[in-house]
Structure 1
């Protein structure tokens, strides 16, 4: 399907205006004090097409905490550096449980279901720490993002990282449980500190959409991901990227996506577009309420779907 870029740009502007006029924004992630301060009534969308065209609507200059969207890029970094060995420590199946649940971790003897739930992401971060300091591991993630987005102005929000550390008791429980099963190579506090800082990376929707080009297999100045690896990451985004709401998101949208409790969603239309959405109010699954709505509307308008 050939997309009329003028019509698509006008649609995004109209969609943003419609969303801003709504009242059902959802609830911000108030269990992280710094995120509790964010006004939920905000929306932004950025899209980068295969020919390099960039389309933006809404509050696209606003930086936000990408939170669990960072897990996509940490996984990409680990796969690029260490290959497939990470799959010994973490699975590739949907969890069907909340992102911070400990139930399956207990039943399955400390091997998380996938790298996008918190326990799995902690293991992935622990894998990234192999042979390097937390500063070096975080630098690797930031360099990956800056290179992918072709933008040096991507940083970690230290206030958000500190806020997560103060209140991250469930993540601490997950890390210690992983350690009890021998599935943590570094001290829990080291891995957790790195994980909290990784989640506190802040970006705009345009930066995030640009960073997603390598996953969408769009042209970038430097080859960031092998096509086979990009396809595998997309498959995990489709099946596990929205926690226990992944099936509903796949049904409604039909495209791979990864959400974060900061309200961001990275949406991938393979070989067509990389799309970033942000609205900080969350639905019952912990995914952006208006971002999910917008993703469904965009998929419907464009006809993009991995299912044909």
Structure 2
């Protein structure tokens, strides 16, 4: 199979440090807008003034601006890692238990799950990610360590950990997530003990990373499934394509259509204020700004990624 072109000649035209600096300046007026995720108390304490951005190229270069090396809770961004691992465990059988369509509803909706007989609409809403966590709980002796090993290898950073304070905060306020697992178990769509599924889920949602780590960790999805750091074929090219497709259509909660319209990149967001985008065959880009819009996506982060694709023309469209 021929390797797709990388558009290297086009990429070399850009002064990426200058572009990131320009975006950093432009988003300053938006940093006081939006609201932090105060329903998770540990996240409510993060200052809205924070902003970081990182661009990791397939050639190994990493460009950063702002608070790009400040650690934060990646939250639902971790669902891309868990999905990758679950597909490696059970392959296409996952799609018997979880759909691949945009939800159109809140990421923690119980109503939609009832209408669809306990089958989550996609693996990036909470119910779908809990099914994925069930797969990991069943197939790994120590699923939490397996997740850490996976993420550290993709980012090339052995210091990445799960934040116990955030995990405790989520567990103490995660009544709806517990309800989702119990509800799906009533439809025989959960195999493990409810507490084990929630433990795996809260562990990976509480991972602490910074923008540079995040961008590097997503390079395997920009590189046809091959990790740039370990030279490991993490997943096959077809599966990488499909995960990217799911990020484009389902990765930013129920704002995926609007995000694709403005940014035009496969991406995954989290309520910790992070967003990671993939530029196939070129790079991965991450941004962090804690103030969220009404859909739960970083407000300034979305604006920053929109400006990046405007200034560079690097999108999938």
Query: If the TM-score is normalised by the length of the shorter chain, which range does it land in?
Result: over 0.9
CA contact under 8 A between 1:70 and 1:199: conserved in structure 2? Answer: yes
Partner of 1:143: 149
In structure 1, the gaps of 5 or more residues are: none
CA distance in 1, matches of 2:227, 2:117: 41
Partner of 1:116: 124
Q: Does 1:163 align with 2:169?
A: yes
Tell me by how many angstroms 1:219 deviates.
6.0
Partner of 1:106: 114
Q: 5 Å matches for 1:278-293? A: 278-293=288-303
Equivalent in 23, 28, 36 of residue 20 of structure 1: 28
In structure 2, the gaps of 5 or more residues are: 1-6
CA distance in 1, matches of 2:281, 2:157: 22
CA distance in 2, matches of 1:80, 1:302: 34
Equivalent in 196, 201, 204 of residue 195 of structure 1: 201
Query: Which secondary structure does the structure 2 equivalent of 1:55 belong to?
Result: strand
Tell me by how many angstroms 1:60 deviates.
1.2
Query: Which secondary structure does the structure 1 equivalent of 2:151 belong to?
Result: helix
Q: Does 1:38 align with 2:37?
A: no
Equivalent in 73, 76, 101 of residue 68 of structure 1: 76
Q: RMSD across aligned C-alpha pairs, in angstroms? A: 1.4
Tell me by how many angstroms 1:190 deviates.
1.4
Tell me by how many angstroms 1:116 deviates.
0.1
CA contact under 8 A between 1:50 and 1:219: conserved in structure 2? Answer: no
Q: Does 1:223 align with 2:229?
A: no
CA contact under 8 A between 2:34 and 2:291: conserved in structure 1? Answer: yes
Equivalent in 105, 127, 137 of residue 97 of structure 1: 105
Tell me by how many angstroms 1:102 deviates.
0.9
CA contact under 8 A between 2:31 and 2:300: conserved in structure 1? Answer: no
Partner of 1:214: 220
Equivalent in 79, 85, 88 of residue 80 of structure 1: 88
Tell me by how many angstroms 1:39 deviates.
0.7
Partner of 2:181: 175
Tell me by how many angstroms 1:29 deviates.
0.3
Q: Does 1:56 align with 2:64?
A: yes
Q: Does 1:271 align with 2:281?
A: yes
Tell me by how many angstroms 1:249 deviates.
0.3
Partner of 2:3: none
CA contact under 8 A between 2:78 and 2:205: conserved in structure 1? Answer: yes
CA distance in 2, matches of 1:219, 1:184: 31
Tell me by how many angstroms 1:82 deviates.
2.0
Tell me by how many angstroms 1:132 deviates.
3.5
Query: Which secondary structure does the structure 1 equivalent of 2:138 belong to?
Result: coil
Q: Does 1:11 align with 2:12?
A: no
CA distance in 2, matches of 1:151, 1:304: 27
Superposition TM-score, scaled by structure 1 size: 0.96
Query: Which secondary structure does the structure 1 equivalent of 2:271 belong to?
Result: coil
CA distance in 2, matches of 1:105, 1:5: 48
Superposition TM-score, scaled by structure 2 size: 0.93
CA contact under 8 A between 2:154 and 2:227: conserved in structure 1? Answer: no
Q: Deviations over 1:80-128 (max 9, x none)?
A: 2221111110000000001011111000000000000000000001011
Partner of 2:4: none
